[in-house]
Amino acid sequence: MTQGNAVGGGLFLFGGVGLLCFAVDQLTKVWALAEFASGAPTRWFADGILGFGLRFNYGASLSIGESMTWVFTLLGIVAAIAIPVFVRGGSRLWALALGFVWGGALGNLADRLCGEPFGRGPVTDFIAYGNWFTGNVADVFLVLGALALVVLMAAGQAPAALERADG
C-alpha cells in the first residue's frame, strides 16, 4: 500500500466514523425528545445506576459554566475544524479515535448552533448516570475517543501532525 492510500484510508475512516457518531447522536436525541418530557422523573434501570431523563444543559460537563455557552460553541467550532488536521498521514487507530472525538464534538456543537438562542442553545442530555450527571451519546463518543487517544499516546504512538512539527 502506498502512503497516499494509507492517508486516504485514514481520512475515509476518520470521516466515516465521525459522521456515523454524529448521526447516531442526533438520532438518539430525536428519540429522547419524542420519548421523554423535560424535567420529568428519570426512568431508572440497572438498580438506579443508569437511567433516561431529558435535561437541557447550557453549560459544559456537569453543567459547569452555564452563563458562558457561547464559549463552548466557539470551542466546538475550533475543535470541528482542528481535529481533522491530526488525521492526515496518521495511523488508522488515530483516525478511528479522532473520528469518535470529532463525531461527539459535532453532535454537541449541532445542539448549540441549532438551539435557541442561536449559538448559545442547550445540549440535549438524556442518559442519567446515577445521581452524578446526565449526558448523551455524543459525550460517550467523546470519552471513548479520548480514552483511545490516551492509550495510543501511552503506547508511544504520536499523531502524525506532531511528528511533522518535530521533523
Q: Which of 47, 111, 139, 166 is catalytic?
A: 139
Cα 18 from Cα 106, distance rounded (Å): 8
Grid cell in block for residue 3: 502512503
CA distance readout (Å), 151 to 92, 94, 148, 158: 14, 10, 5, 11
42 DSSP 8-state letter: P
Q: Is 111 a catalytic residue?
A: no
Closest CA to 72 of 139, 15, 141, 144: 139
Whether residue 125 lies in the annotated active site:
yes
From the list 25, 47, 111, 125, the catalytic residue is 125
Cell of 147: 480514552
Find the DSSP H helices in 36-116.
69-82, 92-114
Catalytic residues: 125, 139
